[in-house]
Amino acid sequence: MTRLVNPAKLQNLEKGESLWVGAWYRLRQNRMAMFSAAFILLLVMLCFGLPLFIDLDYKGIQSEKYFTPPGQEYLMGSDHLGRDQFARILYGGRISLLVGMAATLVSLTIGISYGAISGYFGGRTDRVMMRIVDVLYALPFTMFVILLMVLFGDNILLMFAAIGAVEWLTMARIVRGQVISLKKQEFIESCHSLGLRAPRIIFRHMVPNILGPVIVYTTLTIPAVMILESFLSFLGLGVQPPMTSWGTLIKDGADRTAVAWWMLVFPGAFFALTLFSFNFLGDGLRDALDPKTTRKG
C-alpha cells in the first residue's frame, strides 16, 4: 500500500494541486479502499435497486417450505417461516443502511454545529459546552439508548434521531479541535476585518475547511451506528416485524444455529463485509486526505 516515492507529492511540488486532487490520487492508489468503495456502491444498488426490477417477496410466508437449504429455489435458503432469505437480506440491508446513514447525518449536523460553536467562541462558552460533552460521555451509553428506544416507541424515524443524538459526541470534539486551530489563521482574521458575522464565518469559511477529518470520521460513524442498530434489533428493541434489518436476521439465525446455519451465516457475512468496507474506506480516506499522519511503516 505504501510506496517509497509518492507520485502525488512530486506532482504537488511541481504544480501545487489542490488537496482534493492529491487525495483522490492517493485514494485510487489504495486498492483495498477502492475495492471497499465499489462494494458499498454495489450493495446500495442491490438493496435499493434490485427489488425494483425483480419481484422479491420478503414477507410471504410459505410454511411448507421452511428451512430450505440454499440452492435452486432459494439462493440463500429460507427461514423458519419459509420466507426467502435473500430477499430478506436485501430488504434488511435497506433498513440497516438507511439507519446508518440517517443517524450519521443527524450526528453530523449536531456534532459539527456544536463543536464549531464551542471552538469558535471559546472561553466560558467552550468550557461549559465541553463539560456537557464530558457528562454525556460518562453515561452508560447502551442503557440510555435502550431507554430512548422505549421512549420513542417503534417509530423508525425517531430511532434514527435517538441513535444520532447519542453518536455526535466524538464528532463535536473533533470539529472543536479543528476550529480552534483554524481560528488563529489569517483568512479568518480577514473575515473579521470584513465585518462578517459569526454564523457566516463558521459555516461558510470554517466548516468547508474541516471537511477532511469530518468525512473520515463519517465513514467510521456509519458502521458504528449500524452495529448499534443491529445490537438493538438483536435485543428485540429495534425494527419490528414484518420489517427486518440485519440485526433482526442475525438474531433469527442465532436462535436456530442448530438447524439452519445459513440463516446466520449469510446475513452475518453481509453485515461483516459492509462493516469491513466502511472501515477500510475510512482508513484509506484518512491516509489520502491527511498525508502528514499517514500510518507509519
Partner 1 sequence: MLKFIFRRALESVGVLLCVSLITFYLSKAIPGGPFDQEKKVPEAVKKQLEAYFGMDEPDWKRYLTYTFQFPSLPSTKFPNRRVGEMIASKFPVSLELGAYALIVALALGIPSGILASLKPNTALDYVPSSLSMVGICLPTFVMGPLLVIIFAVQLRWLNATGWENPSDKILPSLTLGFYYAAYVARLTRGGMLEVLNQDFIRTALSKGASMVSVIFKHALRGGLLPVVSFLGPAAAGLIAGSFVVETVFAIPGMGQEFVKAVSNRDITFITGLVLFYASLIIFFNLLVDIAQVFLNPKLSFKD
Positions that interact with partner 1 (CB under 8 A):
2, 134-135, 138-144, 146-148, 150-151, 153, 223, 227, 230-231, 234-237, 247, 250-251, 253-254, 257-258, 261, 264-265, 268, 271-273, 275-276, 279-280, 295-297
DSSP of 238-253 = SSPTTS--HHHHHHHH
Residue 201 vs 244, nearer CB to partner 1:
244
Closest separation between CB of residue 201 and partner 1, Å? 27
Which of the 8 DSSP states describes residue 84? Answer: B
Closest separation between CB of residue 148 and partner 1, Å? 8
Q: How many CB atoms lie within 10 A of CB 6?
A: 16
The residue among 71, 94, 69 whose CA lies nearest residue 79 is: 69
Grid cell digits, residue 38:
465499489
Closest separation between CB of residue 126 and partner 1, Å? 13
Residue 86 vs 144, nearer CB to partner 1:
144
Closest separation between CB of residue 135 and partner 1, Å? 5
Residue 193 vs 293, nearer CB to partner 1:
293
Residue 100 vs 247, nearer CB to partner 1:
247
Residue 18 vs 125, nearer CB to partner 1:
125
Calpha distance 225→216 (Å, rounded): 15
Residue 171 vs 201, nearer CB to partner 1:
171
Closest separation between CB of residue 6 and partner 1, Å? 15
Q: Taking the mean position of all CA atoms in its chain, how far away is CA 130?
A: 24
Closest separation between CB of residue 276 and partner 1, Å? 5
Residue 211 vs 237, nearer CB to partner 1:
237
Closest separation between CB of residue 70 and partner 1, Å? 15
- Give the long-range contacts of residues 204-211, CB within 8 A, separation 24 or more: 206/116, 206/120, 206/179, 206/182, 207/112, 207/116, 209/178, 209/182, 210/175, 210/178, 210/179, 210/182
Residues 195 and 137: beta-carbon distance below 8 Å: no
- Give the long-range contacts of residues 194-200, CB within 8 A, separation 24 or more: 198/120, 198/121
Closest separation between CB of residue 268 and partner 1, Å? 4
Residue 103 vs 207, nearer CB to partner 1:
103
Which of the 8 DSSP states describes residue 68? Answer: P
Question: If phi over 0 gives left and psi between -120 and 50 gives alpha, with beta otherwise, what is residue 185?
Answer: beta
Q: Which residues contact 185 (CB under 8 A, 6 or more apart)?
A: none
* Residue where the block lists cell 462578517: 196
